[in-house]
Amino acid sequence: MPVDMSKYLSLFVTEATEHLESLGRDLVELEKTGGTASIDSMFRHAHSVKGMAASMGFEVAATLAHRVEDLVDAVRSDASLLDRELVDLLLSTTDTLLSQVRAAAEGQPPEDSGPIERQLSERLARITGRSPSPTKVAQATARPSAPPVPPAAPKAPAPAEKENPQERDAGLGLPPRFGLKVRIAQSCAVPGVRAFLVHKRLSGLGNVFDLKPALEDLKAGRIPDGLVSLELETSAGEAGVRGALGNISEVEVLSLKPVVFTAPSPPAPMPSPESAKVVGHEAARTVRVRTELLDYFLDTAGELLLATARIREVGKALPARSQPSLDEAVDRLHGLVKDLHDKVMKARMTPLSVITDRLPRAARDIARRRERDVDLVVTGADIELDRAILDDLADPLLHLLRNCIDHGIESPEERAAQKKGARGRVLVSVRRARDRVVVEIEDDGRGMDPEKLKAAALARGLITAEVAGRLSDAEAYTLCCLPGVSTARDVSEISGRGVGMDAVKRAVESVGGTLEIESERGRGTRFILKLPLTVAVVNLLLVAVGEEIFGLPIAKVIGAVEAEAGTLSRSREAALLPYAGSLLPVHPMADLLGIPDLPRVGPRPFVVMEAESGRVALAVDRLLGQEEVVLKALSRPLDLVPGLSGVTILGTGRPVFILDVPRLLAA
């Protein structure tokens, strides 16, 4: 390969993956709604993948994508062709393509796609009555004499003879392209000869693409219905083409029209934000940023906040006349840094749709395998969560969905007997509740049987009979989160092996969330995930109070100052700290936390924080610095303590509580 393709590989992998995922979503959506809007978008996705794969020289993938494109095209003209089997076939092709993209990413040879390709070809033949054409890539590479196509857009470093229709357009100096359909009369005794002649004449005018049937078939006269279609790139113009074919007898030109490439100017608005991101020149307003980079930004913004606080403290030593101007400058700096910190936090926020978009496809697959009819409804997926939480949530969410369909939703017959609608329903709803995001996954299936769960836990020796007898139903439901407990009658491929729910619970808790389960026999089950809005990774200002260490969320810290406790002004016995032009109420942390205060002399640090009623100053013993920590949820009975928002374990192994200052002050 003359051009080094490796640097384009990661771009190809990202973009092809996105197109394929969108394609899968569109398919599921299309099957559900039967609308036509997604067909165009599906076609575009398949077309883009074909083009990308071809330009990267991944011929197998390009061929598969081409077949998908053909099939989608057929569905476009006759929507009734789209039945379950076709959707299955297209979806598994999408999966095969995805695994080929993955293989390409790892530099592995693509897995064998022969069987699926044959299925696609058969299906295509059945629908169109023609045997499928060879793909453009294969054909293009087989033409060693083809004139070089100049590399088009920067992201298409196409080796010369590769065809890459997506990147082509009139502005790039390529000759115009025509789509041509001719019919060789049924009465013709030598269709192969006529067809060959057509090909030969046209090859003389320019480059032939997308010849259907393939040249070998043409020569052998294997031309279903006498129909030949191809695309021709030529500067001869329409008249020139007609002229070239004019004197071949028994050949009728059915259609001849310029080919319009859809990719550079799509006919419909892009259906999803993902696809908008993909085409760089269309949506230059979004860029990809690596998550590690965002983490770094967040770290640095946090450090800046502390550095600013430090400058303010050091400035106290300056002569009084330079104080006001320094304060002003530091205030401004602080404002900027705080703003930066907020923006970085915001940049890490990602809508839940990033993971819920995969659910419809998964729901369909699981439902098909289990012979269930299921409608999946997702609401509120535009709500945003920190990227780090989302990443950890994808698998648990999928597992819960499996649980709902696998164990929750009954078979259509069973549902009919229960006087329920034949189609089961799984609702995934996302909503904000104060500083938490609540994700609920509920089904309208058979619900869980607390007795069965108890029996399963008992059988595994996880609880004693005595305990089982005492458990409330609500407590019994949570038994399914113990390793090895499952009430599924049969162990399916998908779930029911009793692994999983404990993993779900662990994953949810590790990001600082909680998992609750509600269930009603015969009515359904609801899994409730309450998640922190922002990261389980929090930036803390660590402070020492007495012999203890506590963490204050940096995001809520306004600043820190040092002052001599004895010099503070007082109002009705309460100390007041002068800060940024106002007097802030002082709360000794030791008192707030119920910790014996150490006797001390000299100045002590005060941390200024935002509380419900405005700013407050917290008297601490020492500032220990900033640390980024992983927040742990408070387990019983710690969650009963007001004013704690979480706990973490420092690098030294020491557990440290993270304080919720407004609640601490209110309690």
Site residues (vs other proteins, CB under 8 A): 462-464, 466-467, 470, 478-479, 481-482, 547-550, 592-595, 632, 635-638, 640-644, 647, 649, 653-657, 659, 667
Closest CB to other proteins among residues 221, 532: 532
Look at phi and psi of residue 437 and say left if phi exceeds 0, alpha if psi is from -120 to 50, else beta. Answer: beta
Q: Phi first, then psi: what are they for 477, rounded to 5°?
A: -60, -35
The CB-of-465 to other proteins minimum distance in angstroms stands at 10
491 or 598: CB nearest other proteins: 598
Which amino acid makes up residue 329? A
Coil/strand/helix, residue 189: coil
Identify whether the C-beta of residue 416 lies closer than 8 Å to the C-beta of residue 422: yes
Give whichever of 227 and 528 is closer to other proteins, judged by the CB atom: 528
Q: Are 278 and 11 in contact (CB under 8 A)?
A: no
How many whole angstroms from its chain centre is CA 134? 34
Sign (positive or negative) of CA dihedral 399, 404, 410, 412: negative
Q: For residue 286, which amino acid is it?
A: T
Q: Which two tokens stand for residue 118?
A: 């044959």
Q: C-alpha angle with apex 316: 311 to 320, nearest 5 degrees?
A: 130
Nearest distance, CB of residue 510 and other proteins, angstroms = 10
Distance CA 157, CA 1 (A): 11
Q: Please identify, using beta-carbon distances, which residue of 78 and 466 lies nearer to other proteins.
A: 466
Q: How far is the CB of 658 from other proteins (least distance, A)?
A: 11
**Coil, helix or strand for 183?**
strand
Closer to other proteins by Cβ: residue 416 or 649:
649
For 344, 376, 423, 648, the CA distances from 296, given in Å and listed in that order, are 10, 38, 48, 21
Based on CB atoms, which residue is closest to other proteins, 242 or 470? Answer: 470
> In the bound complex, what is the minimum distance in angstroms from residue 547's beta carbon to other proteins?
8
Nearer Cβ to other proteins, position 105 or 593?
593
| Least spacing, CB of residue 588 vs other proteins, in Å | 13
The closest alpha carbon to 184, from 233, 217, 138, 143, belongs to 217
Minimum Å distance from CB 448 to other proteins?
16
Residues 6+ apart with CB under 8 A from 266: 44
CB nearer to other proteins: pick between 145 and 652 = 652
In the bound state with other proteins, the residue whose beta carbon lies nearer, of 395 and 509, is 509
**Spatial contact of 537 and 389, defined as CB atoms under 8 Å apart:** no
Q: Please provide residue 602's backbone torsions phi and psi, each rounded to the nearest 5 degrees.
A: 80, -175
Taking the complex as a whole, the smallest distance from the CB of residue 548 to other proteins amounts, in Å, to: 5
Smallest distance, Å, CB 302 to other proteins?
A: 23
> Of 269, 277, 360, whose CA–CA distance to 30 is shortest?
360
Q: In whole angstroms, what is the distance from residue 71 CA to residue 82 CA? A: 9
Spatial neighbors of 406 by CB under 8 A, at least 6 apart, are 366, 370, 488, 492, 494, 495, 496
Written as one letter, the residue type at 98 is L
Q: Which is nearer to other proteins, 351 or 643 (CB)?
A: 643
The CA angle 343-348-353, to the nearest 5 degrees, is: 125
Residue among 603, 600, 592, 605 at smallest CA distance from 560: 605
CB of 55 to other proteins, least distance (A): 49
Question: How far apart are CB 657 and other proteins at their closest, in Å?
Answer: 7
Please say which residue, 149 or 549, places its beta carbon nearer to other proteins.
Answer: 549
Minimum Å gap between C-beta 429 and other proteins is 25
**Nearest approach, Cβ of residue 361 and other proteins (Å):** 33
- In the three-class reduction of DSSP (H, G, I as helix; E, B as strand; rest coil), residue 221 is classed as coil
User: Cβ(244)–Cβ(204) under 8 Å?
Assistant: yes
**Residue 335: other Cβ atoms inside 10 A:** 11
Cα–Cα dist 379/429, whole Å: 5
Is the CB of 321 or the CB of 636 nearer to other proteins? 636
Token pair 């700096």 is found at 333
Q: Nearer to other proteins by C-beta: 421 or 655?
A: 655
- Sign (positive or negative) of CA dihedral 279, 53, 99, 271: positive
Least distance in angstroms from the C-beta of 492 to other proteins: 26
Q: How far is the CB of 401 from other proteins (least distance, A)?
A: 23
Q: Among candidates 511, 594, 604, which has minimal Cα distance to 564? A: 604
The residue among 319 and 594 lying less far from other proteins, judged by its C-beta, is: 594
